[in-house]
Amino acid sequence: MKIFSSQVSIVMAATPITASAAGKGFTLIELIISMAIIVMLLGLGIPAFRRYGLRADLENAGVTLATNIFRARTLSLAPEASKEGNITAYGVAFDALNNKYRIARFSGEGANVQEESVVDQFLLPNQVAFSVAPAEPILFPLALQGEPAQLPADSNLALLHTRLAQNNSRTININQVTGQVSLEE
């Protein structure tokens, strides 16, 4: 089968522009006004979206911290099989100056508690800082089965977002009796 190609020329007849065909397009001023409206809407929407992102960073940091405190409690309920024999508690220790905290294994009792090893370490997101953090670790002794040890007097925890003007903090509460962790605005 052979295919032959041939040149086809198309002649278009010039059609005159009538009054009905002239109104089918947009004028330059209509396009400029439409673009100005779009730019204004974007100008109003982007700052609101950025504030939402900053609030989400703060909320995520608070949820992560509360979850990690709960994780330390869970580790005290079901200690790892490979733990050292002298481990008496799991807990969360805070480094407020560097915006870090860590889940760690502890040994000893009372005032003689010492950090033995780190299970996991965390850094708060940029522009989120501890506004209040305990100097002493929050401990969950193995013997108390998930209840926290006597919480330090300064066991309050609060996170602060440095770039938000309103609604810029989250508080983490630990129930002394049950060890339940909650996050509040």
Domains in the chain and their CATH numbers?
Answer: 30-184 (3.55.40.10)
User: What distances in angstroms separate CA 109 from CA 33, 58, 87, 144, 175, one per listed residue?
Assistant: 73, 34, 10, 12, 21
Contact 91, 72 (CB under 8 A): yes
**CA angle at residue 51 from 46 to 53, to 5 degrees?**
95
At residue 106, does pLDDT exceed 60?
A: yes
Compute φ and ψ for 132, nearest 5 degrees. Answer: -140, 130
Measured over the CA atoms of residue 34, residue 40, residue 43 and residue 48, the dihedral's sign is: negative
Two tokens, residue 184:
């509040």
pLDDT of residue 115: 83
Express each pLDDT in 43-94 by its tens digit.
Answer: 887 777 777 888 888 899 989 999 999 999 888 887 665 556 788 889 999 9
Total-model pTM = 0.71
What pLDDT does residue 21 have?
Answer: 54
What is the reported pLDDT for 102? Answer: 95
40, two tokens? 């204004």
Interatomic CA distance for residues 70 and 140, integer angstroms: 10
Chain centre distance of CA 180: 21
145: left (phi > 0), else alpha (psi -120 to 50), else beta? left
Could you tell me the strand order of the sheet in which 169-174 lies?
128-132, 157-161, 169-174, 181-184
For CA atoms 174, 176, 180, 185, give the dihedral sign: negative
Determine the average pLDDT of the residues in 97-115: 87
